[in-house]
Amino acid sequence: MELTGIRRNGALALIIIAWLCVIVIGGIGFYDHGSWHPTAIAAAATLIPSYLVYSGRIDATTRMLLGGTLPVYPAIMLFQAAGSSLQMDIHMLFFALLAAIVVMCDWRAIVTGTAIIALHHLGTNFLMPAWVFPDGADLPRVILHAVIVLIEAAVLIQVSLQLERMIERQAAARREAERLEQDAAITREAIAAKQTLVIGALGEGLKAMARNDLTARIDQPFPPEYEQLRADYHGALEGMRSSLDKISGVATRIDESAGDVSHASNDMADRTERQSATLHDTVSTIRSVSDSISETANRAVEARHVLDAAQGEAEKSSGIVERAREAMTNIESSAREIDQIIAVIDALSFQTNLLALNAGVEAARVGEAGKGFAVVASEVRALAQRSAEAAQDIKTKIGTSNEQISLGVSVVSETSETLERITARILQISEFVATIAGSVESQATKLREVNSTVGALDGITQQNAAMVEETSAAARSLAEQSRTLAQEISLFRLGQAGSVKAAPKLARAA
C-alpha cells in the first residue's frame, strides 16, 4: 500500500477515536448533570477535520489539524473532572492520543499535537490551575509532564520518519518490481514467441514419430538458445532408428533361438514323459516285489513259529520215548526176575514130582495100606507135572516176551536217537528259517527304501516334465512375442530400405 493510502486509513481511524472521545465527554456531562458546552466544543472541534478527511483531503494541513485536535479532548475531560481524584489519571490520555497520531506517518502532526499539549499545560497552570491539576498550579509537575511529552514526541517522530522512509522504500521497490514485471512480460513474450516456434517444429516432428515415421527432420533453424534442442532431437531420432534396427535383428535372433528352445523343450518333454512312465512302471514292479517279499518274510516267520512248535513237540516226544525206553527196561528187568521165579517154580515142581514118585514107590511097597497115599502121590505128581508144564509155558512166553521187549527197547532207543537227530535238524532248519526271515525282512526294508527313492525320483521326473512343458510354452510365447515385436518394428520408417525388414517367421513349434 502507498504512503497516501496508509495516511488516509490512519486519519480515518483517528476520526473514529475523536468521535469516541466526543461521546465520552457527552457521557461525563450527562453523568455529572453538567453543562453541555464541553460536548458542543468537542463536537465542533471534530467536525472540521472529519469533513476534510471524509472529503479525501489528507494533505499535510489536514494531518496537522487532526494532530492538533486530538489533545483537545483530554483537555476538556480535565475541565470536566476538575477537583476529582480522576483528574490526574486523565493526563494519561494525552500520552495515548499523542501516540495514536503516529498512524498517519507524519512527524508534523506529532509536533502540532505536542505543541498543543504544551500550550494547554502552561496556559492553564498560570491562568486556570484548577483545570489541569487538582492541587492548583504546579510548575515542576508541568515541566515533568513536558519532559515526558517531549521524550514521547521525539520517539514518535523517529518512528514516524522511519515508517515514512520504509513505506517510501517499499513503494519505490513496488514500482521497480512493476517495471521489472513489465520488462519480464516483454521478455516472456519474446521467449514465448521463440518457444512457440520451437514447440511447433518439435510438435510436427513428434507427430511424424507418432505416425512411425523416423525420417522426419527439422530443417528450420531454432533460435541460438534452442539450437541444441534441435540437435538433441535429431540425435534422439538417429538413436531410435539405430535402436530399432538392432531390436529388429535381436527379435529375429530371439525368434530363432526361441524356436530351437521350443524344439529342444518338446524333445526333452517327450523323453521326460517316457522316463516318467518307465519310472512309474518300475515303482509298480518294485512295489509288487516288495509286497511279495514282505509276504514271504511273513510266511518265513510263520514257518519259524511252526518249526519252533515242531521242535517243542519233538523234544516232548523224545522225553516220552525216553520214558518208554526206561519203562521197557524196567519190564525187561521184571521179566528176568519172573524168569528166575519160574525157574524156582520149575525146580520146585521137579522136586515135588520126585517126591511124589518116591511117595508112589513107597506106597506100592507098602501095598494095600499105602494105596490111598499112592493116589495122593499120583495127584501130587500130576499137579507137579502140570505146574512144571505151566511154568515151562510161562517161561517160553516170558522168553518170547523178553525177546519182544528187547526188540521194543532197541526200537525205542533207535526212535529216541532218531527223534534227537530230528530235533537237531529241526533246530538247524529253525535257525536257517530265522536267517532267511531276517534276510527277507532286510531285503523287504531295502526294497521299500528303493521304492521310496524311485517314487521320489518319479515325482521329480514329473515335476521336470511339468517344468519342461512350461519352458516349452514360454519358448512358444517368446517366439510369438518376438514375431509381434518384429511386426510392430516393421511399421516404422527408418529411411534405409523404406521400413524395417519384414517380421521373422514364427519359431517352429514341436
Contact 201, 143 (CB under 8 A): no
Contacts of 457 (CB under 8 A, 6+ apart): 279
Q: What is the mean pLDDT of the chain?
A: 78
What percent of the chain shows pLDDT beyond 90? 4
| Residue 283 clears pLDDT 50, i.e. is over it | yes
- Mean pLDDT on 359-378: 74
216 closest CA partner among 237, 192, 246: 237
100 closest CA partner among 2, 4, 16: 16
**Residue 510, pLDDT score:** 38
| Residue 66 clears pLDDT 80, i.e. is over it | yes
Would you place residue 495 in the very low, low, confident or very high pLDDT band (cuts 50, 70, 90)? Answer: low
pLDDT tens profile 157-198 = 888 888 888 877 887 778 888 888 888 888 888 888 878 888
**Residue 497, pLDDT score:** 45
| Residue 148 clears pLDDT 80, i.e. is over it | yes
Length of the chain: 510
Kindly report the backbone phi and psi dihedral angles of residue 213, in degrees, each rounded to the nearest multiple of 5, phi listed first: -100, 105
- In the chain, domain spans: 3-175, 237-489
Helix (H) or strand (E) holding 107: helix 107-126
Compute the distance between CA of residue 290 and CA of residue 443 in angstroms, rounded to an integer.
8
420-458 burial, b if ≥16 CB within 10 A, otherwise e?
Answer: eeebeebeeebeebbebbeebbebbeebbebbeebbeeb
- Mean pLDDT on 129-156: 78
Highest mean pLDDT among 472-476, 496-500, 501-505: 472-476
385 closest CA partner among 374, 373, 377: 377
Compute the distance between CA of residue 372 and CA of residue 156 in angstroms, rounded to an integer.
206
What percent of the chain shows pLDDT beyond 70? 91
Q: At 493, is the secondary structure helix, strand, or coil?
A: strand
pLDDT tens profile 317-363 = 777 777 777 777 777 777 677 777 877 777 777 888 787 778 777 77
**Residue 19, pLDDT score:** 94
**Residue 1, pLDDT score:** 59
CATH code of the domain occupying 237-489: 1.10.287.950
DSSP state of 211: T
- Mean pLDDT on 72-78: 87
Compute the distance between CA of residue 323 and CA of residue 328 in angstroms, rounded to an integer.
9
**Residue 502, pLDDT score:** 40
| Residue 434 clears pLDDT 90, i.e. is over it | no
Compute the distance between CA of residue 406 and CA of residue 332 in angstroms, rounded to an integer.
7
SS (H, E, C) 110-173: HHHHHHHHHHHHHHHHHCCHHHCCCCCCCHHHHHHHHHHHHHHHHHHHHHHHHHHHHHHHHHHH
pLDDT tens profile 238-250 = 887 788 778 877 7
| Residue 455 clears pLDDT 80, i.e. is over it | no
| Residue 131 clears pLDDT 70, i.e. is over it | yes
**Residue 500, pLDDT score:** 47
288-294: Cβ within 8 A, 24+ apart: 289/447, 290/444, 290/447, 290/448, 290/451, 293/440, 293/443, 293/444, 293/447, 294/444
Compute the distance between CA of residue 49 and CA of residue 417 in angstroms, rounded to an integer.
162
Q: Whole-prediction pTM value?
A: 0.36
Highest mean pLDDT among 185-199, 251-265, 388-402: 185-199
**Residue 475, pLDDT score:** 75
Compute the distance between CA of residue 248 and CA of residue 391 in angstroms, rounded to an integer.
136
| Residue 20 clears pLDDT 90, i.e. is over it | yes
Q: How far is CA 328 from CA 320, 401, 410, 417, in A?
A: 12, 11, 10, 16
| Residue 41 clears pLDDT 80, i.e. is over it | yes
**Residue 494, pLDDT score:** 63
92-97: Cβ within 8 A, 24+ apart: 94/145, 94/149, 95/148, 95/149, 95/152, 97/17, 97/21, 97/70, 97/71, 97/73
Chain-centroid distance, C-alpha 370: 143
